[in-house]
Structure 1
Amino acid sequence: MASSRDRQRKLARAKLDRQLARRAARTRRRRRIQAGVGAAVVLTLIVVGAAWGLGAFDREPTKDTAQDVCLWTPQDAAANTNLRDVGTPATTDLPTSGTRPMTINTSQGGPVTAELDLAGAPCAAASIAHLAGQSFYDNTKCHEITAEGALRCGDPSGTGLGGPSYSFYDENVPAASEASPSASPAPGQAPAYPKGTVAMIANPPGANGSQFLIFFKDFNPAKPAYPVIGRITGGLDVIEKIGALPTVDNGTGAKVKPKTDVVLQKLTVGEPTQAAPAPTGPASGAPSASPSAG
């Protein structure tokens, strides 16, 4: 019996030893796995940290979206039959520096040349170039000689209410003068609108379309309202001659319509140039501005 019990004890001991050995083996294996995982995590963190520091996780640079230079506001051509739908100019990638040449031929002579100011009035220049490309201005009448000393053109309807089926906001309106308003500014003070200035005129104000003014006299209002878009560089004598024409009632009681038709036969706009703009005032061949002009 003793031998049988001894054998059982040995068997039980052997079984326990095997269980302990297996448990120890599992423990060692688990520790090795944990150690491996820990090392892998540490290594991963090191790699990720280094990559982060080198900018590997920075967002891919995206191409900048072209910013709108101009906003063209649709006008209801059905409500105003004086408007003409000729599409709209581009809104992006418009030149915003330098100048753009403009040439006008009229039934009273020409050519009259001008520079459009791309830095001060990029949208007006873009609009006029677009309309010129659509022959919008061709064979239209300059319908008014204003009391302010300017020729008003650019309305195919000849009513002062016409234009394209879009409008745009004011640009480059001169600051109000601190001196008293006068057609002849104080000595040393330049008028808001020197002779030879090209400016937009809108009805209502601020909703510019196609109509523009060419000043053949200095004009210095208390509160300037016309956006300056350029200046005459040649042929101002033609505009002065037109400004001297007699005027008649335009149908509204205002005697501002030239008695002799002034037809804008052709208006063209050239390509932008980065050449430095010439000094303020008409170029050689055009009469120079005079502070005493009235």
Structure 2
Amino acid sequence: MPSNEQRRAAAKRKLERQLARRAEQEKKRKRLTIAGSVLGVIVVVAAATGVYFLTTGEDSSSDTAESSSAVPTTQFVNTPLDIPGPPPPAAKPATVDCSYPVGQEPPAKPVTAPTTTSVATDGPQVKVAIDSTQGPIGLSLNSAQAPCTVNSMVSLIKQGYFDKTSCHRIVATPGFGILQCGDPAATGMGGPGYTFDNEYPTDLFPAGDPALQQPVNYKRGLVAMANAGISPDGKGTNGSQFFLVFGDTQLPPNYTIFGTIDEAGLATLDKVAGGGVKGGAEDGGPAIPISFTTVKVG
């Protein structure tokens, strides 16, 4: 029979493991958060000088080949997580009313909020074709589970908001594989000048539900929105930044899932993931640069 000292030591080890897991979960959650306090500084400076921090993405084929071949690559291997994904989406009304309040800061690239706010949820999935400097990426956007998100994305695409922009961030580690895009400023802090609320899977949980802090599996092949958490007035902070999941990723269900990536797109993402992060870091700009030349609906 273990002594009291042995039982205390075992309890201490168990507590240390729990604290380590929680710290790692919080670290991963923060990776997907946009630094909203810095956003105002960056955008105000850009507006004052008349210069937006745009990456044109006008790489020639020779430039693309050179940037890829100059980076040592390894094959990224997806590590399936042993935690479940979010619950299935709930059925929505035939139409939903969406709100896109304009914020205090101007957009990172000239664009307007969606003019359509009454959105149907029973239409076909929206197909999106991304022509990137590292290969094609096809998306299928799901209006049934995230109508307001898809409505915003389609509006931004049709206005050319994502054309000639770079993906500014990659994380390619076991249990976390995402490429973050959608910021024309390529700083990780740019947005469209308006925000909107979370949808699936956040809408499955009441506000304050402890389940919103528990990790779920954002599986390889999903597309989800990046955000800056919930604002002090209880509103969502989604804008234009999104992440493409190329490896099963552990996150709390606070990031709206609004579509999936096709096989050609996953092959493109695997190519970029193989280069890892600039400088060999865990989180940062992709060592193999990737820009969107054009993004089109249909």
Fold similarity call, TM over 0.5: yes
Deviations 1:238-288 (A, max 9, x none): 1111122231269xx974111232111111123xxxxxxxxxxxxxxxxxx
1:157-172 equivalent positions in 2, closer than 5 A: 157-172=185-200
Seen in structure 2, the aligned counterparts of structure 1 residues 254 and 234 have a Cα distance that, compared at 3 Å, is closer
Structure 2: gaps (5+ residues): 1-94, 231-235
Residue number in structure 2 paired with 1:244: 274
Relative contact order (alpha carbons < 8 A, sep ≥ 6): 1 or 2 greater?
Answer: 2
Q: Which has the higher helix share?
A: 2
Residue number in structure 1 paired with 2:223: 198
8 Å Cα contact 1:104/1:267 also seen in 2: yes
Residue 203 of structure 1 and its aligned partner are, at CA, apart by 2.9
Residue number in structure 1 paired with 2:243: 213
Residue number in structure 2 paired with 1:292: none
8 Å Cα contact 2:99/2:117 also seen in 1: no
8 Å Cα contact 2:96/2:120 also seen in 1: no
Question: After the TM superposition, which parts of structure 1 deviate over 6 Å for at least 4 consecutive aligned residues?
Answer: 175-178
Q: How many residues align?
A: 188
Structure 1: gaps (5+ residues): 1-66, 183-190, 271-294
Over the aligned positions, Cα root-mean-square deviation in angstroms equals 2.8
Seen in structure 2, the aligned counterparts of structure 1 residues 122 and 249 have a Cα distance that, compared at 3 Å, is farther
8 Å Cα contact 1:77/1:84 also seen in 2: no
Deviations 1:4-37 (A, max 9, x none): xxxxxxxxxxxxxxxxxxxxxxxxxxxxxxxxxx
8 Å Cα contact 1:249/1:257 also seen in 2: no
Does 2:261 align with 1:232? Answer: yes
Partners of 1:233 and 1:247 lie apart in 2 by: 23
Query: Residue type matched to 2:226 in 1?
Result: I
SS of the residue 1:105 aligns to: strand
Normalised by the length of structure 1, the TM-score is 0.57
8 Å Cα contact 2:272/2:289 also seen in 1: no
Residue number in structure 1 paired with 2:126: 100
Residue 150 of structure 1 and its aligned partner are, at CA, apart by 0.6
- Percent of paired sites with the same residue: 32
Does 2:171 align with 1:125? Answer: no
Partners of 2:169 and 2:243 lie apart in 1 by: 9
Quick one: which of 259, 270, 289 aligns to 1:261? Answer: 289
Partners of 1:68 and 1:224 lie apart in 2 by: 21
Residue number in structure 2 paired with 1:75: 103
Partners of 1:163 and 1:233 lie apart in 2 by: 26
Partners of 2:159 and 2:222 lie apart in 1 by: 24
Larger Cα Rg: Structure 1 or Structure 2?
1
Query: Residue type matched to 2:132 in 1?
Result: T
